[in-house]
Amino acid sequence: MAYVDIKVLVTSFAKVTQWLAMSKRMLLIVSPFLAIVAVLVWLAIVSIDILTAGRAYVEGESLWSKNQKEAVFHLLRFAETKSESDFRSYRKAIMVPLGFQRARFELEKSVPDYSAVRAGFIEGGTHPDDISGVISLYQRFHRVSYMKSVLDIWRTGDDFLARLDAAAEELHAFHRSGRVDPSGLGLILNRIIQVNEELRPWQNRFSTTLGEATRWIRSTLFLVIVTVAGTLVPIGIFLTHGMVSRVDRAERELKELKLGQEYAVKLAYHASHDQLTNLVNRPEFENRLRLALHTAANQGRQHVVMYLDLDQFKIVNDTCGHAAGDQLLRQVGALLKQQVREGDSLARLGGDEFGVLLESCPMHEAIRIADELQKCIADFRFVSEGRSFTIGASIGVVHIADGMLTLTDVLGAADAACYMAKEKGRNRVQFYRPHDSEVFLRRGEMEWVSRLQRALQEGRFVLHAQEIHSIGDQSPRSNHYELLVRMLDDHDKIVPPMAFIPAAERYNMMPMIDQWVIQDAFAKINSLGSKGATGGTYAINISGTSIGDERFLEFVREQ
């Protein structure tokens, strides 16, 4: 069973949330200006299209005037040469003004035929790419005063074109007839020259008015852009200020949320990890072990638990101090972490004790890992203050089977196996076997530990005074007693000392029992004195552990 690293998961989520928040913040801040830019760009594009169309009108006017003059030139030349090529040149030149005329005629209809409009403009020499802009400019501005004046002058030119073309046809017919009539030819030529002379001031007026219209359009577009920009920029600033305020408020809330998440991560991490080694702590290890027991019972999966106890830790701690001991534990924790598999649980259970949970692990693989753990610790050298220390580890290994269903059973079995590894010489691996007599005795002693702790908490120890009599010839001593400690079970029956004293000595609980005996003995002796009872001599049995404690004498004096 793989476990998700809560710290990494929440940290990654916080980073993604922060990135999204920053992106959203930037988008919100710049969105009004992006809208302004978009509007101004759109206006610029429209303005360019309109100005391009205006330029096309100016070019069209130039083509109209140029080809009209060329038409008159070729027509007069035809009058002299009577050459059909000159007349064809006239027809080619006059088609440009006539093409513009046909395009305008079609645009002025309620439902224009735009293919005919396009054909007329192309015939007039307008570039195909400019035709859409020319049509759009006409439709947008043909009722505006300047453009209306231009169109009115343009319409006036229609009459001149009609008169010029009629004179040209008459001249062409005159030459084809073969007549020799100088006076008749002179009249036709005079009409052509008159049309040309009358048309010239209108051409100038048309050019001037078209220039004014183009400049008006340019000025109007500039004014529109400036007005729109001048209106939108303050609005954008106002909206941005409001958005920045909202974003700042959201960021504060996000920051508070992030701090709360980080605090939750830290709480969750500290609640499940040992602060010294950063390994899983005992409560988290037990939680994972419970889940493993559940999968073993319900899914038939195989798991293995190891209990490791460092053999020479006390020597390092006593020789170099607690700081060196802490450093040793950190280094050993890092060393063990390199040996276990990905997804396995390595925990510091307390003091110099470590636990390993190998999930979905067959026994042969567990044996290999246990040997590697024992070997890597045996080969490890700890150096502190110029001193080198060799340590070892006693390892108890328990295979979780269907019959071992409780957390207490598994941990008790692992601890018992670890103890047997120490008893057999330390720095070795001991596998738990349920019917092993040594392990059974060890587990029995461990059960006594919890009973002794509960007896101390619930006051289930009592003192019995046994009178001492001399069996020799010396004169007897009166009021001489030996105080003996006894324990009461849950039914208030006396438990003999040999049933609990060995376990108390093995698990270093005798100092606590000794202190209770001294406190209770002094309290009872003091009580007898206050009642006027005769004093006496009392002997108390003290364990060797208490006698070797430098603080024990001070404790007795305080009592």
pLDDT confidence of residue 332: 92
pLDDT confidence of residue 435: 63
Residues in contact with 305: Cβ distance below 8 Å, sequence separation at least 6, in sequence order: 289, 355, 356, 357, 358, 397, 398, 400, 410, 411, 414
pLDDT of residue 4 exceeding 60, the answer is no
Q: What are phi and psi of 390, to 5 degrees?
A: -105, 125
User: Please, which pLDDT band fits residue 412 given cuts at 50, 70 and 90?
Assistant: confident
CA distances from 501 to 440, 449, 453, 504, 509 (A): 18, 10, 13, 5, 9
pLDDT confidence of residue 3: 47
Residue found by looking up tokens 């710049």 in the block: 30
Q: Is the dihedral of CA 75, 77, 79, 84 positive or negative?
A: negative
Asked if residue 355 lies in contact with residue 305, where contact means CB atoms within 8 angstroms, the answer is: yes
Among 21-35, 312-326, 329-343, 395-409, which range has the highest average pLDDT? Answer: 329-343
pLDDT confidence of residue 450: 78
Question: pLDDT tens digits for 158-170?
Answer: 787 888 888 888 8
pLDDT of residue 207 exceeding 60, the answer is yes
pLDDT of residue 405 exceeding 80, the answer is no
Q: What are phi and psi of 401, to 5 degrees?
A: -115, 175
Element (H, E) at 213: helix 182-272
pLDDT confidence of residue 481: 83
pLDDT of residue 27 exceeding 70, the answer is no
pLDDT confidence of residue 14: 54
Model pTM above 0.95: no
Residue positions counted in the chain: 559
Question: pLDDT tens digits for 48-105?
Answer: 766 666 666 666 677 777 877 888 888 888 888 888 888 889 888 888 888 878 888 8
Instruction: Return the half-sphere exposure (C-beta side, CA atoms, 13 A cut-off) of residue 485.
Output: 28
Question: pLDDT tens digits for 478-497?
Answer: 678 888 888 888 888 888 88
The torsion defined by the Cα of 434, 436, 437 and 441, in degrees rounded to 10, comes to -50
pLDDT of residue 220 exceeding 90, the answer is no
282-434 CATH fold: Alpha-Beta Plaits (3.30.70)
Residue 209 burial (CB count, 10 A): 20
Question: pLDDT tens digits for 340-393?
Answer: 988 899 999 988 899 999 998 888 898 999 999 999 999 999 988 888 888 889
Question: pLDDT tens digits for 287-313?
Answer: 999 998 888 888 888 899 999 999 888
**What span, in angstroms and rounded, lies between the C-alpha atoms of 540 and 559?**
14
The tokens describing 298, both together, are 């319900």
**CATH code reported for the domain at 458-558:** 3.20.20.450
- Average of pLDDT values for 300-327? 88
Nearest of 264, 150, 263, 302 to residue 216 by alpha carbon? 150
**What span, in angstroms and rounded, lies between the C-alpha atoms of 522 and 169?**
150
User: Please, which pLDDT band fits residue 180 given cuts at 50, 70 and 90?
Assistant: low
The DSSP line for 347-409 is: EEEETTEEEEEETT--HHHHHHHHHHHHHHHHH-EEEETTEEEE--EEEEEEEE-TT--SHHH
Residue found by looking up tokens 């006594």 in the block: 448
**What span, in angstroms and rounded, lies between the C-alpha atoms of 447 and 452?**
9
The tokens describing 196, both together, are 């040309």
* Chain mean pLDDT for the chain: 79
Q: Is 95 exposed, middle or buried (0-12, 13-18, 19+ CB in 10 A)?
A: middle
Angle at CA of residue 371, ends 366 and 374, nearest 5°: 125
pLDDT of residue 132 exceeding 90, the answer is no
